Amino acid sequence: MAETEPEVEVNGEAEVEGEAEDDSQEQDKKQKKQTRHDGGAADLERVTDYAEEKEISAANISSAVEQFGNQRSKENKLRAARENELQKVQVKKEDIELIMNELLVSKAHAEKVLREQSGDVVAALEAIISN
């Protein structure tokens, strides 16, 4: 008995199963081609996104640098004002020497902490110890 391929009906017409397989292979090829096309579109999208980010970042960088500079100048002004305020605080040489001898710190550090604590020796000693 000779084997015949079963018939499959497609679009109202009877086709042999082997021909149906050929159609499915063609559809697979079309899908692969479409997938490659979609991949190309995705690549193009990435390139345009990169170009847009580059444009945006160039504009943002200049404003960020400006903001950073403004923030730094504000901090410097505040620091200078604080230093001027601390210079107005009167401290005794004996108190500075006491802190230097007891805690073995530099004269500048002892004087700074003593000024920050408004000349209070005990508070200055505690501040140095706690740091």
Encode pLDDT of 101-121 as tens digits: 989 999 999 999 999 999 999
**pTM for the complete prediction?**
0.45
pLDDT tens digit string along 51-86? 666 666 666 778 878 888 999 999 999 999 988 888
- Domain extents for the chain? 41-88, 90-131
DSSP the chain: ----PPEEEETTEEEEHHHHHHHHHHHHHHHHHHHHHHHHHHHHHHHHHHHHHHHHHHHHHHHHHHHHHHHHHHHHHHHHHHHHHHHTS---HHHHHHHHHHHT--HHHHHHHHHHTTT-HHHHHHHHHH-
pLDDT for 46: 73
Percent of the chain whose pLDDT exceeds 90: 34
pLDDT for 96: 93
pLDDT for 58: 66
pLDDT for 113: 93
Indicate if the pLDDT at residue 5 is higher than 80: no
